[in-house]
Amino acid sequence: MDLLLQAWTAASIERAKLRHMLGAGERWRPGRPLRLLFAGYNGARNTGSDVRVEEMLRQVRQVLGKERLELSVLTQDFALTKGYFGDARQIRLPDIFPPFLAREVPRHDGVITCEGSMFKSKFADALTTMMIGALGLASARNRLSVGYGAEAGKMNRIPRRMTRRYVKDSLILTRNPESQDILGGLGVPTEPGTDTAWTFESHPPEQGEKALRAAGWDGSQPVLGLCPIHPFWWPVRASLPKAVARLFGGYRESHYRSVYFHDSGPEVDRAYERYLGAIARAVADFRRRTPVFPVLIAMEQLDTRACIRLGELLGGAPIFSSSDHDMYSLVGILRACSYLVSSRYHGIVTCMPALVASAGITMDERIANLLRDRGHEHLLLHVDDADLEPKLGVVLDTLHRDRDAIREGIAKNVAAQLRTMARMGVHFEDHVRSRYPDFPTRSGIHSWEEYLPPLTPALRRIVEAHPA
């Protein structure tokens, strides 16, 4: 099924190239708003994905001018993105996406792909194929084609070939040098960038603290946030045989959505229990040494199952899930924590502006790249480490003992990330100008902060305390 989606997407791009050569399609003209389509993994209540896109939209409006734009965002479920993304029009993304992209992309003057794990096979080749398809269909018509805050990792053979062939005329703004190296090896143009979640405005700290008190926190103990996942049931693959079996009750536990299924089997289950068991035992041991109030945070709906199981192993702990809390509320709760241990990349990113002392248990290179950039490799663990329990115990003690120093390192990194995000806005503006020379971009000299959404007072204090 994945091969079918890839072949279908490639054929759509080749057909779009031919139609463009024959003169089909309306090109942007001065006086009309620039129509941009933001293609990402939204509508699954993945807090990180939604926060990223919220801030991309705010940055693009800031850089190009809100009045000059008509923005659209893909979503899998309108109910789950209600109240998100400002005045951008939301368009439903069907599970079988190639014909939809072939129809929808030509209606816009450009595509901005939003998924952080944009070029990797770790989670789903179908998702990477969709990103490649959106970029390739836009560049086939010589329209704006930009990957925003992207990361590249290990890709299977066919996605690598598709990236080399169909993304070579796009611009990919990566969020780390490692991704630039991978994409550069495939002949894809890149510029340095970062994630866009740094400028996100959550609900104020008082609301996060109120939610914690309602869950049993008395305010006397530090709050330890835990963001577990199921790291071993990826990638998701499309499977027609499993879909048929699902009609008769098969593959119920591993069913993701539609014709897509998680990896499954006894070894997957054993690895999952080892991972959660190690976390539970390390946290229980830490609590005997250091009084803390543990809370479980499901950054995506899928993580709720992991939070429930870890809560059972801990003997009970409050669970805050994106199923029940929108991104403004959930990030506010994260930022009210004193410490965080997360297997979700955006669990760490979104709490950093509040200077929460954080560590990561990673399943791929994203958290590893982030903590290396922070200078905190000693706070990095891996989901499949045989010694995860004792190593996590050391990390928890380090978060508690060295909290002030860790917070200072985080503050320096946040300030640097904001400046990198501003440079990403400059690269984006230059690219728009090169693709649409008549589009009225700003002239003159501007401060770097003018390439960002308005900074909160907390972010401004961080920037002022850590000049470049």
Position 237 scores a pLDDT of: 81
Residue 103: left (phi > 0), alpha (psi -120 to 50), or beta? Answer: alpha
Give me the residue label for tokens 């479920």.
77
Which helix (H) or strand (E) segment holds residue 204: the answer is none
305: which residues sit within 8 A by CB, 6+ positions away?
230
User: What does DSSP assign to residue 199?
Assistant: G
Position 26 scores a pLDDT of: 82
Structural domains in the chain, sorted by start: 2-199 (3.40.50.720), 205-233+264-401 (3.40.50.2000)
As a whole number of angstroms, the distance between CA 278 and CA 111 comes to 43
Which helix (H) or strand (E) segment holds residue 94: the answer is none
- What's the one-letter identity of residue 370? L
As a whole number of angstroms, the distance between CA 360 and CA 2 comes to 31
Position 244 scores a pLDDT of: 86
Which helix (H) or strand (E) segment holds residue 242: the answer is helix 240-246
88: which residues sit within 8 A by CB, 6+ positions away?
38, 57, 71, 72, 73
Position 257 scores a pLDDT of: 76
Position 444 scores a pLDDT of: 78
Q: Which residues of 221-238 are buried (b: 16+ CB within 10 A; e: fewer)?
A: ebbbbbbbbbbbbbbbbb
- What's the one-letter identity of residue 398? T
Burial of 266: CB neighbours in 10 Å, binned 0-12, 13-18, 19+: exposed
As a whole number of angstroms, the distance between CA 51 and CA 54 comes to 5
As a whole number of angstroms, the distance between CA 248 and CA 348 comes to 40
Per-residue pLDDT tens listing for the chain (468 residues)? 788 999 999 999 999 999 888 887 788 999 999 999 999 989 999 999 999 999 999 999 999 999 999 999 999 999 999 999 999 999 999 988 999 999 999 999 999 999 988 999 888 898 999 999 999 999 999 999 999 999 999 999 999 999 999 999 999 999 989 999 999 999 999 999 999 999 999 998 899 999 999 999 999 999 999 999 999 988 888 788 888 888 888 888 888 877 888 888 899 999 999 999 999 999 999 999 999 999 999 999 999 999 999 999 999 999 999 999 999 999 999 999 999 999 999 999 999 999 999 999 999 889 999 999 999 999 999 999 999 999 999 999 999 999 999 999 999 999 999 999 999 999 999 999 999 999 998 877 889 999 999 999 999 999 999 998
Among 118, 149, 112, smallest CA distance to 420 is for: 149
Position 228 scores a pLDDT of: 98
Secondary structure (3-state) at 112: strand
As a whole number of angstroms, the distance between CA 338 and CA 224 comes to 6
As a whole number of angstroms, the distance between CA 346 and CA 84 comes to 17
As a whole number of angstroms, the distance between CA 443 and CA 272 comes to 54
Position 348 scores a pLDDT of: 98
Q: Which residues of 347-360 are buried (b: 16+ CB within 10 A; e: fewer)?
A: bbbbbbbbbbbbbb
> Which long-range contacts does 153-156 make (Cβ < 8 Å, 24+ apart)?
153/117, 153/119, 153/120, 153/121, 153/122, 153/179, 153/182, 153/364, 153/365, 154/120, 154/121, 154/122, 155/119, 155/120, 155/121, 155/128, 156/121, 156/125
